[in-house]
Amino acid sequence: MASVSLERVRKTYPGGQQAVRDVNLEVSDGALVALVGPSGSGKSTVLRLIAGLDTPTAGRIRLDGQDVTHVPPQKRDLAMVFQSYALYPHKTVRDNLTFGLQVRRVDPSTITARVQSVAVSLGIDALLDRVPAQLSGGERQRVALGRAIVREPRGFLLDEPLSNLDPRLRAATRAELALLHRRLGATMIYVTHDQEEAMTLGERVAVMRDGALEQIGTPMDVFDRPVNTFVAEFIGSPALNLLPAGIPGIDGGGHATTVGIRPHDLELTSVGEGDLIGRVEVAEPLGSTAVLHVRADAVPGQLIRIVVPSDAALAVDAPIGLRLRRDRLHRFDASGRRIA
Amino acid sequence: MTNRDGPDMSRTPRRIAVLGLSLFVAAALWPLYWIVVSSLTPEARLFEAPGLWPGTVVLDHYRALFAEREFWVPIRNSLIVAAATTLLALVLGAPCAYALARLRLPGKTAILAFVLAVSMFPQVAVISPLFLLLRTLGLINTYTGLVLPYLTFAMPLTIWFLVGFFRQLPAELEDAAAMDGASRAHAFRAIVLPLAWPGLAAAGVLTFLYSWNEFLFALSFTLGPERYTVPVSIALFRGQYQVSWGQVLAAAVVATAPVAALVLVAQRRIVQGLTAGGVKG
């Protein structure tokens, strides 16, 4: 297994479009880092740069300290799981798994043994003689994973590996991936646009926007102390509320122009007791909790999201009061950066 | 009543389609049928009032074709030339097309345009220079002397066809092969070529058809019956005083048979190749 390090890596396409802007990223040996961001944020490009499928315009990429910036993917010994799985459609599952080993001239008895053990561990040993077209989405996903694992590579690069699965299977596979990471102790870089997936899976989460790395930290770090309004809104569900700092009753503190408050950190009060007065406009029951969209008199231009236990859920148009938990306020300056 | 209306409504347009298609197929196959019937009719009765069915079936023309005219020689020549052209066009064209489809090459568009421009030359315009060239190289009246000029027309066709085909294959498969440690060449052999079979088959059949039917070059660059290809041979059937139409027709049937067989065998592949846009992993 290997550590991966990116040093001021930049990728500019011939058209002048900057896909990746001066990204610095350290992934220590055996770590699982989730690269998360909206589509077009450059996260997949970063993955392809680490893989060697693309070459950076500037900057250095190191594997275990060794400069591999211009080393072709064949010699980096990393494995990648593609969003489309990219299984070889004309080869059986067995041949899909063995291809990478045969290319590397691993001896046949080792190949047989490894394929068998990986197939059993992923529960695909009954499918070895089928071709990808005969497999379900979940089975294909396992084969793609198996193809990566069987190689025993220095690290795994996963590009939205769960996005083509239905929600139930996705949740189950997510847990399996976490187990797999623990069992293999492998370095993994995991790209996803789903912040929840990134939060639950990543030991560290790297948030990207417009080709730049906005913040990297443990999931709770990023959640509790977002460095700017983008990260604050992107991480967490339902999304954080951003309110103008000037509204009465909310102390902006110094030169803050915006304050953020997570839907869980707002409390329901009776009218007149809280910081804000408003009316429920939309109520979304989620089972044990409900999300209320509230229009507050002080900020009529937007809806404030608040999560309440479902037994407290109120009817639409009900007048309510809201209290903001002072210790959970996030303060941002005019450029959107966090203050203290 | 209402129960019946639905199915009837949808059946009527279908019937019209079937009828239209049948007429179309009949029109297309009619000349072929007429040739077959005539080739089985005795020479003396060829110019009588024609009947839809052959009155007397005789194999005289075919017998004469092979016994007297040694028609198997031009067939052999055509097979050798067409097969060699097809094989070379695919073996040389596929890597070219792959490089043009996938690799980062400077001036890729210019190269493709140039390749296309080559095939735009009217054949007649290049016959004299080609003849002089082939004569200098001592290739007049040889198989090579036909295969090489054919390639100048077959290669652009193959390359353009295959570039389009390779571009439609998902690039992630080759990325996956690269991650698996396979070089470009290895990925081309092990992943791209097996998936490109329909395209290769379609390109191959088109090239074969072209080479099999080619007349002008074959007429110009061969000197005697021992190197004539089928079209040349048939064109030169006419004797000094009479044309043996029966034999010409029999020869036409014999010349069509291998091509028809090839197309039928490769039919499914060709259809796949020509509709490759719908292929999904």
Helix, strand, coil: what percent of chain A each, to 5?
A: 30, 30, 40
Q: Are residues A42 and A135 in the same domain?
A: yes
Label the pairing between strands A319-324 and A276-285.
antiparallel
Residues A298, A276: Cα–Cα separation, whole Å: 7
* pLDDT at residue B280, rounded to an integer: 40
A47 reaches B (C-beta below 8 A):
no
Label the pairing between strands A188-192 and A155-159.
parallel
How near does any CA of chain A get to the CA of B195, in Å? 7
A152 reaches B (C-beta below 8 A):
no
CA-based nearest residue to A41, from A213, A164, A189:
A213
pLDDT category, B13, cuts 50, 70, 90? confident
Q: Are residues A145 and A186 in the same domain?
A: yes
pLDDT greater at residue A338 or residue A1: A338
Cβ-Cβ contacts under 8 Å for B198 (sequence gap 6 or more): B165, B269, B270, B272, B273, B276
* pLDDT at residue B50, rounded to an integer: 64
How near does any CA of chain A get to the CA of B182, in Å? 6
Asked whether residue A294 carries a pLDDT value surpassing 90, the answer given is yes
Q: What CATH number did the domain enclosing A304 receive?
A: 2.40.50.140
Look at the block and give the residue holding tokens 């290997």.
A2
Q: How many residues does chain A have?
A: 340
* pLDDT at residue B60, rounded to an integer: 83
Report if residue A245 sits inside a domain: yes
Contact A100 B186 (CB under 8 A): no
Q: What CATH number did the domain enclosing A184 receive?
A: 3.40.50.300
Cα-only R_g, chain B: 24
Contact A74 B181 (CB under 8 A): yes
pLDDT greater at residue A312 or residue A185: A185
Strand arrangement of the beta sheet that strand A241-244 belongs to = A241-244, A258-261, A330-332
Residues A267, A321: Cα–Cα separation, whole Å: 8
Tokens of A259: 């304050």
Contact A80 B177 (CB under 8 A): no
How near does any CA of chain A get to the CA of B163, in Å? 20
pLDDT category, B239, cuts 50, 70, 90? low
Residues of A in contact with B179 (CB under 8 A): 51, 53, 73, 78-80, 100
How near does any CA of chain B get to the CA of A177, in Å? 20
Domain boundary among A233, A253, A274: A233
Residue A19 φ then ψ, to 5°? -85, -35
Q: Are residues A49 and A178 in the same domain?
A: yes
Residues of A in contact with B194 (CB under 8 A): 90
Give A159-173 as a 3 state SS string: ECCCCCCCHHHHHHH
Q: Are residues A322 and A213 in the same domain?
A: no
Domain boundary among A201, A233, A265: A233
Residues B50, B44: Cα–Cα separation, whole Å: 12
Q: Are residues A128 and A243 in the same domain?
A: no
Residues of A in contact with B178 (CB under 8 A): 52-53, 72-74
* pLDDT at residue A45, rounded to an integer: 95
Using CB atoms and an 8 Å cut-off, which of residues 154-173 of chain A contact chain B? none
Q: Are residues A297 and A323 in the same domain?
A: yes
Contact A79 B176 (CB under 8 A): no
pLDDT category, A275, cuts 50, 70, 90? confident
* pLDDT at residue A217, rounded to an integer: 95
As a whole number, mean pLDDT of residues A25-47 equals 94
pLDDT category, A272, cuts 50, 70, 90? confident
* pLDDT at residue B8, rounded to an integer: 54
Tokens of B15: 């019937």
Cβ-Cβ contacts under 8 Å for B109 (sequence gap 6 or more): none
Model confidence over A188-207: pLDDT tens digits? 999 999 999 999 998 999 99
C-alpha count within 13 angstroms, C-beta hemisphere, residue A258: 17
Angle between helices A167-184 and A137-149 (to 10 degrees): 10
Residues A277, A265: Cα–Cα separation, whole Å: 16
Strand arrangement of the beta sheet that strand A4-12 belongs to = A18-27, A4-12, A58-63, A66-67
Query: B65-278 adopts what CATH topology?
Result: MetI-like fold (1.10.3720)
Q: The complex's ipTM?
A: 0.87
Model confidence over A130-169: pLDDT tens digits? 999 999 989 999 999 999 999 999 999 999 999 888 888 8
The mean predicted confidence, pLDDT, of chain A is 91
Residues of A in contact with B106 (CB under 8 A): none
Q: Report the chain A residue with the minimal C-alpha distance to residue B192.
A: A88
Model confidence over B166-176: pLDDT tens digits? 998 899 999 99
Q: Report the chain B residue with the minimal C-alpha distance to residue A131.
A: B281
* pLDDT at residue B277, rounded to an integer: 40
Asked whether residue B269 carries a pLDDT value surpassing 70, the answer given is no
Residues A237, A261: Cα–Cα separation, whole Å: 12
Out of A74, A88, A132, the one facing B183 most closely (by C-beta) is A74
The total number of structural domains in chain A stands at 2
Contact B281 A100 (CB under 8 A): no
Q: Are residues A171 and A283 in the same domain?
A: no
pLDDT category, A170, cuts 50, 70, 90? confident
Domain extent at residue A128: 4-233
Indicate the residue type of A123: G
Q: Are residues A245 and A225 in the same domain?
A: no
Contact B182 A77 (CB under 8 A): no
Contact B175 A80 (CB under 8 A): yes
Asked whether residue B186 carries a pLDDT value surpassing 90, the answer given is yes
Q: Are residues A288 and A317 in the same domain?
A: yes
Asked whether residue B240 carries a pLDDT value surpassing 80, the answer given is no
Q: Are residues A134 and A44 in the same domain?
A: yes
Report if residue A338 sits inside a domain: no
pTM: 0.82
As a whole number, mean pLDDT of residues B25-48 equals 85
Listed range (A102-116, B58-72, B187-201) with the worst mean pLDDT? B58-72
* pLDDT at residue A312, rounded to an integer: 77
Cα-only R_g, chain A: 24
Residues A92, A114: Cα–Cα separation, whole Å: 16
Domain boundary among A181, A206, A233: A233
Report if residue A320 sits inside a domain: yes
How near does any CA of chain A get to the CA of B174, in Å? 9
Q: Are residues A207 and A93 in the same domain?
A: yes
Out of B175, B180, B182, the one facing A53 most closely (by C-beta) is B175
* pLDDT at residue B88, rounded to an integer: 97
Contact B173 A74 (CB under 8 A): no
Out of B172, B182, B281, the one facing A103 most closely (by C-beta) is B182
Percent of chain A with pLDDT over 90: 69
CA distances, A253 to each of A31, A191, A299 (Å): 38, 37, 19
As a whole number, mean pLDDT of residues A218-236 equals 95
* pLDDT at residue B274, rounded to an integer: 56
Look at the block and give the residue holding tokens 């459609």.
A89
Listed range (A11-15, A336-340, B5-9, B245-249) with the worst mean pLDDT? B5-9
Domains of chain B: which residue ranges? 2-58, 65-278
Report if residue A340 sits inside a domain: no
As a whole number, mean pLDDT of residues B200-219 equals 91
Out of A72, A86, A90, the one facing B172 most closely (by C-beta) is A86
* pLDDT at residue B259, rounded to an integer: 84
Look at the block and give the residue holding tokens 């030359």.
B121
The mean predicted confidence, pLDDT, of chain B is 85
